[in-house]
């Protein structure tokens, strides 16, 4: 029976996706490293921003513009959609009052066989926000209801709202083997194209070590966005790892193919590892992460995990609504104008910033760019160079033919034509 069901679904997938375009991307390389975290100041003089306690220069992201690039469904032209994943006990209205800022997206988690929460969708509409549904497999397996019928029913119900939305279909934890997962995901994508065409389909990676060659990746033609969770958990020595440093290789592996969403983001302020509260450290980390994400131009959405039970471990508490200081820190972090509070109309093409795989430095008013970044852009390297951390850099003032600038607010170097 199982083989017959898979064969039937596969046939339907072929029927619905015969006109799809295939993609042959390259995998990413590299392994994230654990290290202690330096929290760079948000404001202050250039000396304050670019030196840490050991008087060493702090690396910053380098972005260069790509002309007439293809954009994903609902991908913003520039900036990051603000999102939140709330506990059922917290209303969208109350959360917006607490944060003092509108959000573009709110998240709801449900099983395929559950009723669509119309009241919650209406809350989103009242807040001028876009719903994001995280759809898990049916909670109760019923052989009388074929999986295809359940998917069609959900697609028709969501399509009846006639509004843009995001759907994460079968995130990690579904219990399927790669072949089964890929078939069902692609089938669901085809059904949604028919009944809910204003839906952007999201594939959530199992881990930060995932690449586009992951056996569970269903194919670029069936995926609009790629998502990954970022949780800053704690151990006996503080934060277990620098999640921005761990995120960078994942980002570079997917940025050429899809917009990326952080779904969700969480920063621990309490851990059962030693039963300690760490509010000041969490405040600083929230600020640091949101500032750092502004340096990843193809990160198009970040949804904070305010619901306690979202994380894969129950050891840490990532919520912010229960702590006034954390809510204030979050509200301050999202004041950055790079964060967007409403869905933008979808533009299919246009210029887009791309993040270099190599960092740059801003020291004493001077900009330094890695010579490998210049090589990526076919820019001649000046004769005079400088060395930082064992790598060779060029002074931007000696680079001809490009306009190179530094944004202190975002801590980013821009290379424009």
For residue 407, the model assigns a pLDDT of 92
Residues 54-70 pLDDT 10s: 456 789 999 998 877 88
Kindly tell me if the per-residue pLDDT of 49 is higher than 60.
no
Residue 78 has pLDDT above 60, yes or no: yes
Domain ranges in the chain are 2-16+70-348
C-beta of residue 63 within 8 angstroms of C-beta of residue 412 = yes
What average pLDDT score do residues 171-181 get? 95
The reported pLDDT for the residue numbered 351 is 80
Task: Give the tens place of pLDDT for each residue, 345-383.
Answer: 776 777 888 999 999 999 989 999 999 999 989 999 999
The whole-angstrom separation of Cα 311 and Cα 307 is 9
| pLDDT confidence bin for 234, thresholds 50/70/90 | confident
Residue with the bigger pLDDT between 34 and 103: it is: 103
- Mean pLDDT across 181-197: 97
What's residue 247's pLDDT?
97
Q: What is the pTM of this model?
A: 0.82
pLDDT of 194: 96
- Tens of pLDDT, residue by residue over 102-155, are 999 999 999 999 999 999 999 999 999 999 999 999 987 777 778 999 999 999
pLDDT band at 406 (very low <50, low <70, confident <90, very high): very high
Please give the pLDDT value at position 117.
Answer: 96
Q: What pLDDT does residue 297 have?
A: 95
Q: What are phi and psi of 133, to 5 degrees?
A: -100, 130
Q: Does domain 2-16+70-348 have CATH number 3.30.365.10?
A: no
**Contacts (Cβ under 8 Å, ≥6 apart) of 35:** 241, 242, 245
Going by C-alpha positions, the residue among 266, 267, 302 that lies closest to residue 282 is 267
Residue 45 has a pLDDT of 32
Q: Tens digit of pLDDT for each residue in 265-292?
A: 999 998 877 788 889 999 999 999 999 9
CB 338, CB 79: distance < 8 Å = yes
pLDDT of residue 310: 55
By the 8 A CB rule, do 28 and 211 touch? yes
pLDDT of 311 above 90:
no
Mean pLDDT of the chain: 84
When pLDDT is averaged across residues 243-255 and rounded to a whole number, the result is: 96
For residue 313, what pLDDT is reported?
A: 54
Distances (CA, A) of 73 to 61, 109, 343: 26, 21, 11
Cis-peptide into 264, omega within 30 deg: yes
Give the chain's length. 417
């Amino acid at each position: 029976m199982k083989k017959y069901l898979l064969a039937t679904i596969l046939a339907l997938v072929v029927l619905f996706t015969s006109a799809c375009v295939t993609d042959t991307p390259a995998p990413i390389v590299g392994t994230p490293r654990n290290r202690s975290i330096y929290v760079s100041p948000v404001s202050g003089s250039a000396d304050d921003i670019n030196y840490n306690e050991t008087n060493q220069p702090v690396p910053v992201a380098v972005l260069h513009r790509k002309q007439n690039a293809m954009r994903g469904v609902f991908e913003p032209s520039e900036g990051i959609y603000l999102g939140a994943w709330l506990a059922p006990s917290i209303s969208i209205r109350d959360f917006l009052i607490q944060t003092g800022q509108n959000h573009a997206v709110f998240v709801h988690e449900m099983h395929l066989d559950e009723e669509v929460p119309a009241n919650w969708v209406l809350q989103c509409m009242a807040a001028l926000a876009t719903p994001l549904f995280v759809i898990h497999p049916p909670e109760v397996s019923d052989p009388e209801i074929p999986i295809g019928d359940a998917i069609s029913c959900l697609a028709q119900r969501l399509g009846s709202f006639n509004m843009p939305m995001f759907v994460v279909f079968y995130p990690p934890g579904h219990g399927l083997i790669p072949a089964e997962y890929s078939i069902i995901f692609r089938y669901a994508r085809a059904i949604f194209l028919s009944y809910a065409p204003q839906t952007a389909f999201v594939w959530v990676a199992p881990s930060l070590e995932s690449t586009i060659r992951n056996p569970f990746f269903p194919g670029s033609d069936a995926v609009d966005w790629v998502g990954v969770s970022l949780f800053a958990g704690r151990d006996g020595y503080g934060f277990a790892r620098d999640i921005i440093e761990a995120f960078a290789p994942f980002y570079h592996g997917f940025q050429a193919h899809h917009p990326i969403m952080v779904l969700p983001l969480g920063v621990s302020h309490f851990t059962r590892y030693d039963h300690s509260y760490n509010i000041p450290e969490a405040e600083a980390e929230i600020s640091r992460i949101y500032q750092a994400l502004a340096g990843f131009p193809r990160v198009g959405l970040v949804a904070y995990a305010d619901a306690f039970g979202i994380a894969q471990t129950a050891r840490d508490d990532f919520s912010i609504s229960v702590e006034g200081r954390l809510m204030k820190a979050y509200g301050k972090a999202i004041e950055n104008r790079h964060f967007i509070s409403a869905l933008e109309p979808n533009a299919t093409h246009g210029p887009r910033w791309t993040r270099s795989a190599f960092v740059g430095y801003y020291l004493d008013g001077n900009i330094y760019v890695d010579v490998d970044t210049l090589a990526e852009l076919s820019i001649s390297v000046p004769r005079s160079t400088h060395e930082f951390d064992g790598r060779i850099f060029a002074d931007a003032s000696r680079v001809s033919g490009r306009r190179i600038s530094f944004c202190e607010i975002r801590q980013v170097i821009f290379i424009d034509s």
